[in-house]
């Protein structure tokens, strides 16, 4: 007995969405581009088929929304880390102090400290 091609695509997409979720949860973000390419191919194949009923795709919709929320969270985390690194770089270059009247002033380092080795 052969399986319906639509159902086969739906099951492949379902497995792929689970792989995507696992990559997001485990922090393996480097595997996402390859998964995205596969996912786009499966979705394109499904879009080319006629007669797919919406109730067959309903479980996939929930998984897609779940993965999107995970991806949004990962992006927020990456942005937070990038902002923190930016702040740390700024702190390393400047020394902010306050005078006796409470005014803030900054001493900015003009050059980077470099270690020079001499023979």
**pLDDT for 56:** 84
Residue 22 has pLDDT above 60, yes or no: yes
Beta carbons within 8 Å of 38's beta carbon, 6+ residues apart: 16
In a domain, 55, yes or no: yes
**pLDDT for 54:** 82
Percent of the chain with pLDDT over 90: 55
- Pairing relation of β-strands 104-108 and 94-98? antiparallel
In a domain, 12, yes or no: yes
Quick one: tokens of 44? 């394109």
- Identify the domain containing residue 57 by its residue range: 5-108
Count how many domains the chain has.
1
Mean pLDDT for the chain overall: 88
Percent of the chain with pLDDT over 70: 92
Write the DSSP assignment of 84-112 as a string of letters.
Answer: HHHHHHHHHHEEEEE-TTS-EEEEEP-S-
Quick one: tokens of 65? 């929304």
In a domain, 115, yes or no: no
Tens of pLDDT, residue by residue over 57-113, are 888 999 999 999 999 999 999 999 999 999 888 877 787 888 889 998 877 766 666
**pLDDT for 37:** 95
In a domain, 23, yes or no: yes
Backbone angles phi, psi at 7, to 5 degrees: -65, -35
> 78-89: string of b/e by CB count within 10 Å (b at 16+)?
eeeeeeeeeeee
**pLDDT for 38:** 95
């Amino acid at each position: 007995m052969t399986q319906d091609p639509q159902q086969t695509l739906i099951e492949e997409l379902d497995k792929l969405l689970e792989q995507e979720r696992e990559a997001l949860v485990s922090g393996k973000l480097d595997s996402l581009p390859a998964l995205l390419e596969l996912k786009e191919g499966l979705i394109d194949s499904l879009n080319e088929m006629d007669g797919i009923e919406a109730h067959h795709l309903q479980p996939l919709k929930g998984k897609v929304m779940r993965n999107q929320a995970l991806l949004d969270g990962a992006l927020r985390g990456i942005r937070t880390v990038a902002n923190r690194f930016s702040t740390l770089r700024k702190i390393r270059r400047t020394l902010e102090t306050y005078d006796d009247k409470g005014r803030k002033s900054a001493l900015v380092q003009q050059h980077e400290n470099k270690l020079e080795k001499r023979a």
